[in-house]
Amino acid sequence: MTFRASVERYLGAVAQQYHRGDAREESYYDVLKQLWEELGSQLSSAHATLTVLPRQTEAGNPDMRVWSGQQHITGYIEAKEPGVTNLDHVEVSEQLKRYRAAFPNVIVTNFLEFRLYRFGQPMGQPVTIGSLQALQAGMKVPLQHEEQFRELVERFFDFQLPRAYTAQTLAVALADRTRFLQQQVLAQLVDDEDHKLNSELVNLLAEFKQVLMSDLTSDTFADLYAQTITYGLFAARMRVTGTFTRETALNGIPATIGILRKLFKYISIGDTPERLRVIIDDIADVLAVADTDTVFKGYGKNGRDPVADFYETFLGEYDPAKRKQHGVYYTPQPVVSYIVRSVDQILRDSFGKPDGLADPSVTVLDPAAGTMTFPATAVRLAAETYKAKYGDGSLDSWIKGHVLRDFYAFELMMAPYAIGHLRMGTLLTELGYTMSTDDRFKLYLTNTLDVSTAEQNPIPGLSPLADESHMAEAVKTTQPVLVIMGNPPYSGTSSNKGAWISALIDDYKKVDGKPLDEKNPKWLQDDYVKFIRFAQWKIDQAGEGVLGFITNHSYLDNPTFRGMRQSLMASFDQLHILNLHGNSLKKEQCPDGSKDENVFDIMQGVAIILAVKRNGVPKGIWYSDLWGSRDAKYTVLSNDQMTQTAWQELTPRGDMYLFVPQDATLAAEYEQWPKVTEIFPVSSVGIVTARDELTIQFTPEQVWQTVNRFISMPPEEAREAFHLGKDAQDWKVQLAQDDIRRSGPKLENVVPVLYRPLDIRYTYYTGQSRGFICRPRAEVMRNMLRPNTALVVPRQCKEQPGAFACSSIAGHKTVDAYDINYLFPLYCYDTSLSADIDAIENISATGTHRLANLGPAVAANVAKDLGFIMTSDGHGDLAHGSMGPEDLFAYIYAVLYSPAYRTRYAEFLKADFPRIPFTKDRDTFLKLAGLGQQLIDLHLMRSPELDNPISRFCGKGDSAVTKVEYDADRGRVAINPTQYFDSVTPELWTYQIGGYQALAKWLKDRKGRFLTSADTIHYSRIATALSDTVKLQEQINRILGRTLGETAHV
């Protein structure tokens, strides 16, 4: 039959079916199947089979698959009934978007019009082969556009999956299909649960929840399952010779890995639901044609395993957010090499084991094994040692009696677990060892941070997962381990919140036997901290051991970790810290000012810790920096181990116990003074809105309009209109709307907020947590809704030290973009907060009760040393022997703005809240308090000096901020091609308040806006305030600079 005859016969069959009055699309499937198989045999050399696919919901597979009938898939067809005249709407539907993303060759049709998509993009124009009007009129449907249809069909059948994938394009192809598989697994799971089916998926989910993750959701399970299938197929493809299909993949899974065998038996020879078989077949087809030699070109260098290396590329395409959430980053081989060789040397030097890791008495554990980079490197080094010293004649016996007996690893995620097993099997084969049917590497699928009781564990023998769980628990609880090393995940939002590990972390919440007294010690919940704590606990249980980790380096100097540092000092006899830096969040630079790079593709800086617990070794803590480019760091780490590193011995001082170098003499001087937290006991971090663009506006009118519009919409409409994205844990659209409605809305809730230095904006403030504002810190911030002054400082200063005064509530990034800012109100109107305040109750000028937020003894001692009487509110009469809370505040503010103070104590200001040196000299105090008050008035924009601005707004135009440019030669700040502010010196333009270049920040935050007259006047006043600030700092320096180091202890 000719092409034309086949299509005309098809149109006649469609018309016949239509006139029967059955408009269901399924009624036309057989007609299309016959046409497509005929055209396939006419236009393609390959046999074509069209299979109708089951689909219970719109989230399922396309309607039909066109394939060879045995293995290779040509493409998919999604059909709509002939009455659907507008396929434009179908083209942009979520359903078709999913198909176009997952499948590279798709047709959508209403049986008369056909559209072809290749890799998600339309191929040519839509082709209509018959008139719907003729069909509806009962007339014969003549063939239209025959040649265009022939071309479309030929293009469809000409499609072949590319053999020459690059690693990136293969990762994209697999990621697209894996996302679709995840959707199908979830849909199947929901169907099975709705029908109360005791299916394989339902049972596996129940097992995982019981054994691995009690809070595992169906959605997360579907993701875990989909990743495992895809990467299991990928790894199996590397092992299977000959034809590769879903069915033959089972041959690539070792018999000893029970969990994976069970999974692949199900998809290979089990009763797998059709909706899953379709997409799994498609993934297998992609892998079957892929030229793995081409894919892995460039992978596996520097000792990296190509299969494991590719997993990071795949995960980066599949779900970059999940990769970040789980801290999944391949550990660079130079880092692994340095740690493994250093541990090997420690075993030789400190434990009397001349064979190092090859010694059969050594047990090794990687508690966060990932794709087994550390164990593989350790095994390879140990094997090299053994062969070099004893030959390879008994290597098999050594591997079976040591490597397979004494090396352990834990992993929580299924995909890397699968890769890890296959990787270790490949490595042992390379070493000449043939694994028998009862051999396996002791890599267990388990949550390291969850130590279960016997009653909680499933009975072994019931399933491979139950057996795995019992073997892992034995290693955790009873098996002594000498060496623990690896790269634990970094995840500040840890999901590991079990009672067992939480109880261990509680030990880090004490220092010198007392509670840390941290308002929000959330950084101790980071997963890497918990893994360090697990390793410490495990080594303490054994009585001796070695720890070698690379982790986030925040614990070295962050105040929140001081209890952790003291605990590590108590457990280990020796600590070696190699700080690799690379923290772009802190804008780290090399000491010479050159660029410092991270050894990972992350922004968070990292460090290596090597910790030894062993009787008889010299005790101490040693530190070293490694700065420079990534390549330079790799060179050092590849060539050196700890005995070749230049170490500096540390003597950490209480109560910070810093793991970084510090000037001991200067520290003793600085630490005698009180912290601002002791001076002002009541404080909190600034407010966190979670959605600044919605909650923070430039004017009160904009806030009022925004909140009223926001609550007038249904939640999903508001989410889209205000570009709010997905709900967060503590901020949800519905809760935000409910908060506003409960409060009124009321105009009185529209209040100013200090958003950035000298940048007052407005918000709607109810004080309700998890409401319109995510974390409003109402207990402290409500004090700022009445007449008050507050000090805003960060806990640590990674950039220039910052401090600022405010008279309103303030945000958590007010003076520093990186560090969390804290607000210390001078007065507390809420007397429930008075427990920590040593002050006399006072009736303020407003007639309301308030207390000065001054700590026990500090204010009294300062007043006594100066010979003043301390008053309870406002300013005292300094000339006649009395001082008030505002005099003390002004003195402190002057000190914080002293360049000499900031320079002398820079390293301490980076570590914790500032300490304030109080003078005993009354004249010095009077002068500094006076200068500090002038600074406060400038920064609160209430100084009379601002009435004579130094800068003017010049030029004609619409005052639109289009491009902010500074001309240093003419002292001009341009906001567009015709308008500018004049008389701005380079010193003012570059002036920093904390982490912000104040003048630049204010304007750049208004890019795209039109400045009002009030805005331009305010900007001129800002320039004036900064100019006067510089002058006052010079005066402060002349007074305070010569007395620092001599100022008396309070």
- CA proximity to 971, closest of 946, 992, 954, 993: 954
Percent residues over pLDDT 70 in the chain: 92
Q: What is the model's pLDDT at position 799?
A: 67
CA dihedral 82, 83, 87, 91 (to 10 degrees): -90
Tell me the per-residue pLDDT of 974-983, one tens digit each, with 9 for 90 and over. 999 999 999 9
Which of 9-23, 189-203, 338-352 ranks highest by mean pLDDT? Answer: 338-352
- Residue 57, pLDDT > 80, answer no
Rounded Cα distance between 862 and 357, Å, is 61
State how far the Cα of 328 lies from the Cα of 344, in Å rounded to an integer: 26
* 598-608: average pLDDT: 93
Q: Which of the residue ranges 217-231, 373-387, 829-843 would you say has the lowest mean pLDDT?
A: 829-843
Tokens 């008396």, located at residue = 1048
Write the DSSP string, 185-201: HHHHHHHHHHTT---HH
Average pLDDT of every residue of the chain: 89
Kindly state the tokens that stand for 47.
Answer: 């046999």
Distance CA(410)–CA(369), nearest Å, equals: 6
Cis peptide before 674 (omega within 30 of 0): no
Give the pLDDT band (50/70/90) at residue 1047: very low
pLDDT at residue 807, as a whole number: 97
Distance between CA atoms of 884 and 869, rounded to whole angstroms? 8
Look at residue 251 and tell me whether its pLDDT is greater than 90: no
> Please, what is the angle between helix 306-318 and helix 167-194, to 10°?
60
Residue 38: phi and psi, rounded to 5, are -65, -50
Query: What percent of the chain has a predicted confidence (pLDDT) above 90?
Result: 59
pLDDT band at 426 (very low <50, low <70, confident <90, very high): confident
Cβ atoms of 988 and 1024 closer than 8 Å = no
pLDDT score at 1048? 36
Domains of the chain: 3-158 (3.90.1570), 167-325 (no CATH), 337-373+395-416+436-661 (3.40.50), 676-890 (no CATH)
272: its two tokens: 């797998």
Mode of pairing for the β-strands spanning 442-445 and 407-411: parallel
CB-CB neighbours of 697 under 10 Å = 21
Model confidence at 839, in pLDDT bands (50, 70, 90)? very low
Q: How confident is the model at residue 467 (pLDDT cuts 50, 70, 90)?
A: confident
- The whole-number average pLDDT for the span 80-108 is 87
- Determine contact, residues 659/575, Cβ cutoff 8 Å: yes
Is the pLDDT score of 482 beyond 50? yes
The whole-number average pLDDT for the span 171-176 is: 86
**CA–CA dist 545, 974 (Å, integer):** 63
Q: pLDDT grade, residue 581 (50/70/90)?
A: very high
Beta bridge partners of 514: 511
> What's the average model confidence in pLDDT over 237-248?
82
Q: Give the Å distances, CA to CA, from 2 to 49, 68, 113, 143.
A: 19, 22, 20, 14
CA angle, residues 148, 152, 158, in degrees to nearest 5 = 140
d(CA 370, CA 381): 19
919 confidence band (pLDDT: 50, 70, 90): very high
Mean per-residue pLDDT, 310-321 = 78
Residues 6+ apart with CB under 8 A from 864: none
Confidence check: pLDDT of 587 > 70: yes
Question: Cα dihedral sign for 330, 335, 337, 342?
Answer: negative
Cα–Cα distance list, 377 to 14, 365, 403 (Å)? 65, 13, 12
- Assess whether pLDDT exceeds 90 at residue 267: no
- Tens-digit pLDDT profile for residues 486-521: 999 887 666 777 889 999 999 999 999 999 877 667
Q: Are 960 and 1010 in contact (CB under 8 A)?
A: yes
**8 A C-beta contact, residue 893 and residue 913:** no
299 pLDDT tier (thresholds 50, 70, 90): low
Binning pLDDT at 50, 70 and 90, where does residue 781 land? very high
Average pLDDT of span 381-399 = 97
H-helix or E-strand containing 335? helix 333-350
Distance CA 367, CA 380 (A): 19
pLDDT band at 59 (very low <50, low <70, confident <90, very high): low
Q: Which of 53-62, 420-429, 1020-1029 has the lowest mean pLDDT?
A: 53-62
CB of 231 closer than 8 Å to CB of 319: no
pLDDT at site 234: 84
Nearest-angstrom CA–CA distance, 926 and 816: 30
Distance, in Å, from the CA atom of 254 to the CA atom of 256, rounded to the nearest integer, reads: 6
pLDDT of 1001 over the 50 cut: yes
Residue spans of beta strands (DSSP E) within 504-661: 510-511, 514-515, 545-552, 574-581, 606-613, 620-625, 648-650
Are 642 and 576 spatial neighbours (Cβ–Cβ below 8 Å)? yes
Instruction: Taking residues 756-774, report their average pLDDT.
Output: 97
Give yes or no for a contact between 703 and 764, defined as CB atoms under 8 angstroms apart.
Answer: yes
Cβ contact 634:623 at 8 Å: no
> Residue 526 phi/psi, 5° resolution?
-60, 140
Angle at 819 between CA 814 and CA 821, to 5 degrees: 45
d(CA 743, CA 142): 67
Quick one: pLDDT at residue 702?
97
Query: If phi over 0 gives left and psi between -120 and 50 gives alpha, with beta otherwise, what is residue 804?
Result: beta
Tens-digit pLDDT profile for residues 535-562? 999 999 999 999 999 999 999 998 899 9
pLDDT at residue 71 above 70?
no
* pLDDT on residue 362: 98
H helices present in 217-325, as ranges: 218-237, 258-268, 274-289, 292-295, 306-318, 320-325
Residues 6 or more apart from 519 whose CB is under 8 A from it? 683, 684, 685
Long-range contacts formed by 728-735: CB under 8 A, 24+ apart: 728/690, 728/774, 730/690, 730/769, 730/770, 730/774, 730/775, 731/689, 731/690, 731/691, 731/770, 731/774, 732/770, 735/770, 735/771
Which tens digit of pLDDT belongs to each residue from 659-711? 999 887 888 889 899 999 999 999 999 999 999 999 999 999 999 999 999 99
What CA–CA distance (Å, rounded) separates 409 from 404?
11
Q: What is the DSSP string of 231-258?
A: HHHHHHHTT--S---TTGGGGGS-TT-H
pTM of the predicted protein model? 0.74
Tokens encoding 782:
């409500």
What is the Cα–Cα distance from 415 to 370, expressed in whole angstroms? Answer: 9
Token pair 């000028």 is found at: 845
How far is residue 870 from each of residues 671, 835, 838, 850, 919, measured CA to CA in Å?
Answer: 25, 19, 11, 16, 16
Contact present, 283 and 173 (Cβ < 8 Å): no
- Nearest residue to 171 (alpha-carbon basis) of 66, 310, 26: 310
pLDDT at 1020: 98
Q: How far apart are the first and last CA of the chain?
A: 104
pLDDT computed for residue 1049 by the predictor = 32
- The count of residues in the chain is 1050
Inter-residue contact 838 to 854 (CB < 8 Å)? yes
